[in-house]
């Protein structure tokens, strides 16, 4: 494996409980499997614990460890983006610091990359240990929703744990949008991409950095940035409601002129008004979200701000 220069990209946010173990396991895997040409890029995403100080000590002892420190917490996807921007390897592997995705799988992923002559080897979770039934159900239906709505096929049950080569890295660097859905973007880039099935472990220590609020925001980013179908659905619902309203008007006119029964009923009128108003507000909200995304892109602010870099 010495002919390939490997970049390992590890975003970190408040991972003091696990960061030493993460480094040691990654380094052990690289050394034990003869991957001598490598760099380990840690991105400190504005951690408020001792993560950054621990990483500084690691970087001082190992010059193959490179450290990017953000000025504040910008989020997981900007942290991964920064890692890809600074990666100088022939291939790069993206892995989270919590060790749910085992670094011991690196050699097998590299073998798949060589055997298949592909550009991406993406991890597919066959099992998800240590996660609640709610997390598993919401994740499953999120990926199904993305698959059905997106114009670009996004594989089911995948995260950012994947191997990408120089071709993907170079094309990714050209993409300048602010709010990135990285697994979707890599699928959109194309080239040959093959799955790698594995069992996802329970988090080694610490707490998840993706509570429900962040999961919903992440899902909205994935849907809004990769699909115009929600807008098309709103148009379809609007047309259906318009046709339904026309039939209701004809029914009311028929009842008024040709039926002995008078047209009455405040309750039914109120229900219809609330129903159509709800549809209009939901549709308006979707349109507003798309406009807000455009607003974010037009501002053209950087995705992240770097406070300092070490060992570059």
Under DSSP, the state recorded for 8 is E
Please report the pLDDT score of residue 272 as a whole number. Answer: 73
| Beta bridge partner(s), residue 7 | 39, 92
Task: For the beta carbon of residue 83, count every other beta carbon within 10 angstroms.
Answer: 22
Is there a contact between 45 and 76 (Cβ–Cβ < 8 Å)?
A: yes
- In 175-211, which ranges are continuous DSSP H helix? 182-189
CA dihedral 22, 160, 294, 277 (to 10 degrees): -110
Domain 6-226+302-310 has CATH 3.40.50.2300: no
Please report the pLDDT score of residue 266 as a whole number. Answer: 58
Please report the pLDDT score of residue 43 as a whole number. Answer: 96
Q: Among candidates 63, 89, 222, which has minimal Cα distance to 147? A: 222
Task: For the beta carbon of residue 220, count every other beta carbon within 10 angstroms.
Answer: 14
pLDDT digits (tens, 9 = 90+) for 162-210: 999 999 999 999 998 878 888 888 988 989 999 998 887 765 555 555 5
> What is the value of pTM for the model shown?
0.73
What residue ranges of the chain have pLDDT lower than 70? 1-2, 127-157, 202-228, 252, 255-256, 259-268, 270-271, 274
Exposed e or buried b per residue across 129-159, where buried means at least 16 C-beta atoms within 10 angstroms of its C-beta: eebeeeeeeebeebbeebeebbeeebbebbb
Please report the pLDDT score of residue 265 as a whole number. Answer: 63
Please report the pLDDT score of residue 19 as a whole number. Answer: 94
pLDDT digits (tens, 9 = 90+) for 180-191: 888 888 988 989
Is the sign of the CA dihedral 162, 165, 167, 171 positive or negative?
Answer: positive
Query: Cβ contacts of residue 136 below 8 Å, gap of 6+?
Result: 128
Please report the pLDDT score of residue 218 as a whole number. Answer: 65
d(C-alpha 241, C-alpha 44), whole Å:
50
Please report the pLDDT score of residue 276 as a whole number. Answer: 73
Q: Among candidates 27, 52, 54, 51, which has minimal Cα distance to 40? A: 27
Q: Which helix (H) or strand (E) holds 138?
A: helix 133-149
Distances (CA, A) of 41 to 85, 204, 238: 11, 20, 49
Please report the pLDDT score of residue 30 as a whole number. Answer: 94
């Amino acid at each position: 494996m010495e002919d390939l220069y490997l970049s390992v990209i590890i975003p970190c946010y408040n991972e003091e409980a696990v960061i030493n173990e993460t480094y040691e396991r990654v380094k052990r895997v690289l050394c034990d499997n003869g991957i001598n040409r490598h760099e380990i890029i840690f991105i400190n995403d504005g951690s408020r614990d001792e993560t950054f100080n621990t990483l500084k000590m690691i970087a001082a002892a190992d010059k193959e460890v490179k450290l990017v420190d953000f000025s504040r917490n910008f989020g997981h996807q900007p942290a991964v983006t920064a890692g890809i921007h600074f990666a100088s390897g022939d291939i790069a592997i993206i892995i989270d610091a919590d060790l749910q995705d085992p670094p011991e799988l690196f050699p097998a992923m590299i073998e798949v990359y060589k055997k298949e002559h592909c550009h991406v080897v993406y991890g597919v979770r066959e099992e998800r240990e240590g996660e609640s039934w709610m997390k598993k159900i919401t994740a499953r239906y999120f990926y199904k929703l993305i698959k059905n709505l997106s114009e670009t096929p996004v594989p089911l049950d995948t995260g950012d744990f994947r191997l990408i080569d120089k071709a993907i890295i170079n094309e990714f660097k050209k993409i300048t949008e602010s709010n990135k859905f990285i697994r979707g973007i890599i699928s959109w880039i194309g080239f040959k991409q093959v799955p790698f099935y594995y069992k996802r472990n329970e988090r080694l220590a610490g707490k998840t950095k993706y509570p429900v609020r962040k999961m919903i925001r992440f899902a909205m980013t994935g849907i809004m940035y990769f699909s115009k179908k929600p807008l098309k659905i709103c148009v379809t619902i609007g047309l259906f409601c318009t046709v339904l309203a026309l039939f209701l008007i004809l029914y009311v006119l028929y009842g008024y002129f040709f039926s002995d029964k008078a047209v009455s009923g405040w309750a039914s009128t109120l229900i219809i008004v609330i129903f159509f108003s709800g549809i209009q507000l939901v549709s308006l909200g979707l349109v507003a979200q798309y406009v807000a995304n455009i607003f974010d892109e037009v501002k053209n602010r950087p995705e992240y701000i770097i406070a300092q870099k070490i060992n570059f």
